Amino acid sequence: MKILTIVGARPQFIKAAVVSRNLEKYLGIKEYILHTGQNYDNNMSSIFFEEMDIPKPHFHLNIHGGGHGVMTGKMLEGIEQKIQELNPAAVLVYGDTNSTLAGALAAKKLHKKVVHVEAGLRSFNMRMPEEINRIITDRISDVLFCPTTTAINNLKQEGFDNFHSEIVLSGDVMQDAVLFYQDKASQISHIVDNLQLQPNGFILTTIHRAENTDNVARLTAIINGLNTVHRTILPVILPLHPRTRQIIEKNGIDIHFTIIDPVGYFDMLQLIMNATLICTDSGGLQKEAYFCNKYCVTLRDETEWIELVEGGYNRLAGSESERIIEAVTDYIKTPFPPKVELYGGGLAGEIICHHLSQLIDSEVYAV
């Protein structure tokens, strides 16, 4: 039986690495990987396949750039063609990108089963493109693998008990990835030494979400706050997305801390493990910080991972310079609290693949 996996962006490569590795145990399933091209820079794409031993994509659409409509439309056309050629039993999508939405739409219109990994997340901010993508993908999915009970409750509140879909509490595949790769990252990555960083002596930050990068006032306030943190508290390191770099340069925003090019998964994992704390607008990095026992200051007004905020591991600072500085100052003084198990303990990949094998073998989902 064939499964078509759709990926296109950095977080999806990490998640797919976990599921693909577990799928190898199921001899009756052949996985085909389609890369839309949404992240096309080597440091944002191919390096992940090389480092994490992910099978090379069988298909590459090379679609990137342009507006949401142009990008999603081209992806929809390309994915539809591959589904018709392969005739898979199911199409597997991850997260909340344009690649996710295009994969789900193409599969559903061709009457293929849609499987959504990381389903049920909600920021309740409809101005976020990711929120629109995840809501639509969830609604047309046949199987929804939810990382947390909060995600399941979100779906139930939206009436999913009345829909013809199956909801599964799987845990979070990104925790599987951290647990599986952290030792290898420590052996292979030399980024901390190469950048002459002191372990537990710097702050790692990322900025890439459109709500921040497309709003010059927000972006400027965030960078001003980080400039102050760098000058008065601890050095700040920013692996910078090419698109964000262009926006910063175009608007003449002054950065007084260290910028580096985007890095692969192992280098990023080493930076997380050696940082004092994390400042980010990334959803995945909020969890990776928690997995590595690091506090996170989230540069957004809301988060999908509310259990981290409720547990005291994460603080929402938005884009206000003063709130960013205050949160960093408070966290540096505070020992990391004892952790409770929030994301499945590293078993998500096995749960997902075991369920997929049962789904494909059943009469209901047979092709």
Which residues are designated catalytic? 208
Specify the 3-state DSSP secondary structure of 122. Answer: coil
| Residue 43 in this model has a pLDDT that exceeds 70 | no
How many CA atoms are closer than 13 Å to the CA of 367, on its beta-carbon side? 16
The domain total for the chain is 2
Task: Flag whether 104 is in a domain.
Answer: yes
Question: 235-247 burial by CB neighbour count: b if 16+ within 10 A, else e?
Answer: bbbbbbbeebbeb
Task: Flag whether 90 is in a domain.
Answer: yes
327, 356: one domain: no
| Residue 366 in this model has a pLDDT that exceeds 70 | no
Mean pLDDT of 96-103: 97
Q: What is the mean pLDDT of the chain?
A: 93
Q: Which of 307, 311, 319 is nearest to 122 (CA)?
A: 307
Q: In this predicted structure, what is the pLDDT of residue 108?
A: 98
217, 263: one domain: yes
Mean pLDDT of 339-358: 94
Report how far apart the first and last C-alpha atoms of the chain are (Å, whole number).
8
Structural domain harbouring 49: 2-171+347-361
d(CA 315, CA 309): 6
Q: In this predicted structure, what is the pLDDT of residue 80?
A: 98
φ/ψ (deg, to 5) at 7: -135, 165
Least confident among 54-68, 104-118, 331-345: 54-68
Task: Flag whether 119 is in a domain.
Answer: yes
Mean pLDDT of 38-44: 64
Return the beta strands (E) in the chain as ranges. 2-7, 30-35, 59-60, 90-94, 113-117, 143-146, 166-169, 203-206, 236-239, 258-260, 277-280, 295-298, 314-316
